[in-house]
């Protein structure tokens, strides 16, 4: 008796795992492909992994991974909770500045007075400080998320969009104000941030590549879990019908700020990693352009799908690269025209449209097969 139940249990578990793996087969293949990419590419290209075009393309993909997380965080707000915020750059830039300021101005002082060397000569202080920097970025973006949701709590619709835009603009102005030039570098931005040597994106590009890849995968899984959690379902309910959600007992203000904070923290973490990658924090990261980027990537890939914005981020980076080669410095013009056409004619984005089409196709096939089944009986 006992053995049978346990085997059936394991069967259930393995069955579940198999089902999960089957569901995720595309994702798993993608991740494996991305892990192998640097090696395959360098083998195909015939140059070492850490120099020349392989290194360059790793860099391109690192940017894709980071912006993908950033775009995804935006979709959590816009696509899932139905909040159209124009201040997302503040979270991304906030995270980036927090990380960069910490590494440039706080970390060196601590590192010079406390130095712990772990076994094998590992500089523990450096690792701890990096983690602390990352946490600082999370805390800063969390606070910004709270601030944004508090200020915008009572306003609706267009006012809401304007308030978030203006708040982000204020942060952008502060980030380039000459008053803080000693710390932030004002217009120029904060450059040459002392990133710990072991993760330095110039020396150890491949290592950074894997860190960024792991970051993207983990953030995707975390966000997906949030979306599918009870809390995430309330977000969706707010998007669908806020007044009804209120009538069945959810406090919209609370859940909206939760969505804001969650999204801000995810965006801030992406910003922190981006600061490490560029070894800088500049006012462009807090500017309206960064928000528009998130918006474009989300629309391009498909609203309300986590993977869509990530795909959108990848496409935009690649477009940027090739359009620059084809059209020169004025490539954004071409891109802008294509983007407007996309908004007009492909409103659900790539992933969204594909899901619709495939659903239609599936319905069509189903109907066809049913007809085929019926046909013999008819004749």
Chain residues in the site for another protein (CB under 8 A): 84, 151, 154-156, 158-159, 161-163, 165-167, 169-171, 173-174, 176-179, 225-226, 228-234, 236-237, 240-241, 243-252, 258, 262, 288, 292, 295-296, 299, 330, 332-333, 336-337, 339-340, 343-344, 347
CB of residue 246 vs another protein: minimum separation in angstroms?
5
d(CA 69, CA 46): 31
CB of residue 347 vs another protein: minimum separation in angstroms?
6
| Three-class DSSP labels, 247-280 | HCCCCHHHHHHHHHHHHHHHHHHHHHHHHHHHCC
CB of residue 344 vs another protein: minimum separation in angstroms?
6
Written as one string, the DSSP assignment of 131-166 is HHHHHHHHHHHHHHHHHHHHHTTT--HHHHHHHHHH
CB of residue 292 vs another protein: minimum separation in angstroms?
6
* H or E element at residue 222: helix 205-227
Contacts of 71 (CB under 8 A, 6+ apart): 293, 294, 297, 298, 301, 309, 310, 312, 313
| Residue 281: burial class (beta carbons within 10 Å; 0-12, 13-18, 19+) | buried
Nearer CB in complex with another protein: 20/114? 20
Nearer CB in complex with another protein: 146/165? 165
Nearest Cα neighbor of 285 from 81, 104, 141 is 141
Nearer CB in complex with another protein: 133/309? 309
Q: Which residue is associated with the tokens 């500017």?
A: 287
Nearer CB in complex with another protein: 34/346? 346
CB of residue 31 vs another protein: minimum separation in angstroms?
21
Tokens of 154: 């009572």
d(CA 257, CA 271): 20
- Contact call for residues 95 and 148 (beta carbons, < 8 A): no
CB of residue 250 vs another protein: minimum separation in angstroms?
6
Q: Which residue is associated with the tokens 């217009």?
A: 187
Nearer CB in complex with another protein: 44/247? 247
CB of residue 46 vs another protein: minimum separation in angstroms?
38
- Contact call for residues 96 and 281 (beta carbons, < 8 A): yes
CB of residue 224 vs another protein: minimum separation in angstroms?
10
Nearer CB in complex with another protein: 211/234? 234
Nearer CB in complex with another protein: 109/156? 156
Nearest Cα neighbor of 283 from 89, 138, 79 is 89
Nearer CB in complex with another protein: 152/280? 152
Q: Which own/partner pairs from 55-61 qualify as long-range (CB within 8 Å, at least 24 positions apart)?
A: 55/205, 58/205, 58/206, 58/208, 58/209, 59/201, 59/205, 60/317, 60/318, 60/321, 61/34, 61/37, 61/209, 61/212, 61/213
d(CA 78, CA 264): 12
CB of residue 27 vs another protein: minimum separation in angstroms?
17
d(CA 278, CA 310): 20
CB of residue 332 vs another protein: minimum separation in angstroms?
5
Nearer CB in complex with another protein: 128/161? 161
Nearer CB in complex with another protein: 234/285? 234
């Amino acid at each position: 008796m006992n053995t049978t139940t346990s085997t059936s249990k394991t069967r259930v578990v393995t069955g579940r795992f198999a089902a999960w793996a089957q569901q995720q087969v595309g994702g798993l293949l993608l991740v494996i492909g991305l892990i192998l990419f640097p090696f395959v590419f360098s083998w195909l290209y015939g140059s070492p992994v850490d120099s020349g075009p392989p290194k360059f393309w790793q860099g391109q993909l690192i940017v894709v991974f980071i912006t993908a997380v950033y775009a995804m965080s935006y979709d959590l707000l816009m696509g899932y909770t139905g909040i159209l915020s124009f201040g997302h750059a503040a979270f991304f830039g906030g995270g980036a500045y927090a990380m960069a300021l910490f590494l440039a101005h706080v970390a060196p002082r601590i590192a010079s007075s406390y130095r712990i060397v772990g076994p094998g000569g590992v500089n523990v202080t450096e690792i701890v400080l990096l983690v602390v920097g990352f946490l600082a970025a999370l805390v800063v973006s969390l606070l910004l998320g709270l601030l944004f949701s508090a200020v915008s709590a009572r306003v609706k619709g267009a006012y809401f969009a304007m308030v978030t835009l203006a708040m982000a603009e204020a942060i952008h102005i502060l980030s380039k104000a000459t008053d803080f030039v000693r710390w932030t570098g004002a217009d120029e931005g904060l450059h040459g941030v002392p990133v710990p040597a072991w993760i330095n994106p110039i020396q150890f590009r491949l290592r950074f590549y894997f860190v960024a890849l792991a970051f993207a995968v983990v953030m995707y899984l975390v966000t997906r879990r949030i979306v599918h959690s009870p809390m995430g379902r309330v977000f969706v309910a707010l998007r669908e019908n806020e007044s009804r959600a209120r009538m069945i007992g959810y406090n919209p203000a609370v859940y909206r700020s939760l969505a804001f904070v969650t999204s801000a923290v995810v965006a801030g973490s992406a910003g922190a990693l981006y600061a490490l990658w560029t070894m800088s924090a500049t006012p462009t990261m807090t500017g309206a352009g960064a928000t528009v980027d998130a918006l474009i990537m989300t629309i391009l890939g498909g609203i309300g799908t986590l993977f869509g914005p990530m795909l959108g981020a990848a496409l935009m980076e690649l477009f940027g690269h090739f359009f620059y080669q084809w059209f020169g410095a004025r490539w954004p013009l071409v891109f802008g025209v294509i983007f407007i056409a996309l908004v007009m004619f492909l409103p659900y984005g790539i992933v969204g449209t594909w899901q619709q089409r495939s659903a239609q196709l599936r319905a069509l096939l189903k109907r066809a097969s049913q007809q085929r089944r019926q046909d013999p009986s008819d004749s």
